[in-house]
Amino acid sequence: MTAAEEPHASVGAYVLHALPPGEEAAFENHLAGCEACRREAEAYASALTWLADAPLPWTGPPVPAPPDVRARVLEQVSRTAQERRGAEAPRPRAPARPLRLALAAALAAVVALGGVAAWQHTAAEDAREREAQAQSAARAQADALADVLSASDAEIFSGSLPGGASVGIVVAQSQDRAAFTAQRLPRLPGGRVYELWYAADADELRPAGLLPGDGGEELRLMDGWIEDAVAVGISVEPAGGSAQPTTDPLAVVPITSSG
């Protein structure tokens, strides 16, 4: 059934821009003189606008729907078989065809957007899990740092860097851990960081953490265990750190008691 045969039945298709150009123009001519169809078209347009703006189950930034959603909706509409009424069937006051057409389009949109909503929900869950893991790791680091600083056997070993910066290593043998503190660290050029090292008697160097090149004050738990380390070194390395020092150390601080 075309818009020319039954113009009242084309409101839903018109609102969805699913009519062929010729039928769309014919329906616009009909719409200019039919107040009932104009009211119905406005109602459908408002409903579709609400569907487009309805919030999805997602608490993060909005993610646009895939670009083929509208194409799939219109394809679904175009495949829906047209209904034909018998010649003697009375015409209802409110055409049923446009309502079914609009509902079919809305359902197709919901199905298409359901995949987006599911993906958004999964992304939100993943983000929350990563945040929880990061917070848990940060709390563990803070607790371990507090244990080192408050240990009954904690000892402080100090040193200095060129330019007047001072560094301190807090060692707690009972924890087999150490903390690094510094004041007045020089700012480094872009792409460079400070790297800490554990040094053993056999000149073995083990990475013990990275410090940003922003300079100023630092206080952090050193990575790994003290084990057989007898000193802590600090060097300047490329961003991301190095497996072994690529520059001469700025300082080497012994961490063994003389007595």
Per-residue pLDDT of 64-101, as tens digits, reads 545 555 555 555 555 555 444 444 444 444 444 555 55
Give me the amino acid identity at 228. Answer: D
- Do 198 and 227 touch, CB atoms closer than 8 A? yes
For the segment 93-114, the average pLDDT, to the nearest whole number, is 54
For the segment 107-120, the average pLDDT, to the nearest whole number, is 59
**Angle, to 10 degrees, between the axis of helix 35-53 and the axis of helix 96-150?**
20
Give me the amino acid identity at 4. Answer: A
Q: Is the pLDDT of residue 6 over 80?
A: no
Output b/e per residue, 175-209; b: 16+ Cβ within 10 A.
Answer: bebbbbbbeebeebeeeebbbbbbbeeeeebbbbb
Q: Is the pLDDT of residue 32 over 60?
A: yes
The whole-angstrom separation of Cα 44 and Cα 236 is 66
- Give the model's confidence band at 167: pLDDT under 50 very low, under 70 low, under 90 confident, else very high: very high
- The closest alpha carbon to 8, from 34, 44, 46, belongs to 34
Provide the pLDDT for residue 220.
Answer: 93
Provide the pLDDT for residue 241.
Answer: 96
Residue of higher predicted confidence among 92 and 34: 34
Give me the amino acid identity at 168. Answer: G
Assign 242 to helix, strand or coil. Answer: coil
Q: Model pTM?
A: 0.53
- Do 162 and 249 touch, CB atoms closer than 8 A? no
What token pair was written down for 68? 């083929």
